[in-house]
Amino acid sequence: MAVEAFARLVAIGRTPSDRELLAGALAELDARHGLLAKIAAEPQLQAIMAEFVTRLLDAVGSVAALAGLTVLDIACGSNSSRSPVTGHLTAEFEPWMCRLLLVLRARPVGLDIGDLAGETFEHHHVDLGVPGAMDFLPSGAFDAVHESRLFGSPEFRAAYGPATGRVRREIHRQERRLLRPGGILIHSDR
C-alpha cells in the first residue's frame, strides 16, 4: 500500500522533471517525518498531500518553479493537532505544506497556534483570531500565500463562533498586504 501511495503522489507531476522532483521530495518527507507510515495509518493523508501538490502545480506551473519562492502558509498545521472526530493526535493536520515546500527548495513561513517545535522551516506561534496578529510580518514579503481548510475547520468555528466573519475579513486583508505585487494566492477556502 505504501508503494502504491507513493506512486500515485509522484504521478501527479505533469512532466518527467516534476515526477522526478516529487519522488525525491516525498522520499525525503518519508525519511524525515514517516510520511508513508502515516498515510498507511491515516489514508486521508494521501488525499491531503495530493491536494497540496496539485494546488502548487496549478499555482506555479511546475515543481521546479517553487525553488526560491517565499511562501506564507497561514494556519499551517502543527504537531499537536487533534482530530475533530476522535480527539486524538492526527498526522492529517501536521505542517505538510511547509514541509513539502521546504524539500522542494522554497522558503516556507508557517503560522499556527499549535506546536511547531522541531520543525526546520521558519514558523511563528500566532492566534489568527487576534486583530493584527500578522502585523509583525512585512508588507509585500511573500511570493505566495497559502491558506487551506482554516475557515471550515471545526476548531476555527468553535474558537471564534460569531467572530468568524471578522476574522476571515482580517485574514484576507492581511493576505493582500503580505503578497508582493504579482504574488499568488493559493486557497482552498473560497
Indicate the SS3 state at residue 122: strand
- The CA distance from 104 to 24, in Å, is 9
Quick one: average pLDDT of 125-130?
A: 91
Q: How many helices (H) and strands (E) does the chain have?
A: 7, 5
- The CA distance from 117 to 138, in Å, is 23
- The CA distance from 36 to 2, in Å, is 6
Give the confidence band of 190 by pLDDT, cuts at 50, 70, 90: very low
pLDDT at 161 over 80: no
| Backbone conformation region of residue 181, classed left if phi is above 0, alpha if psi is from -120 to 50, else beta | beta
Span 13-29, pLDDT tens digits: 999 999 999 999 999 99
Contact criterion met (CB below 8 Å) for 118 and 71: no
Q: What is the pTM of this model?
A: 0.93
Fold of 2-187: Rossmann fold (3.40.50)
Quick one: average pLDDT of 45-51?
A: 95
User: Which of residues 31 and 86 earns the better pLDDT score?
Assistant: 31
Residue 122: burial class (beta carbons within 10 Å; 0-12, 13-18, 19+) = middle
- What per-residue confidence (pLDDT) applies to 6? 87
Instruction: Name the residue ranges covered by the structural domains of the chain.
Output: 2-187
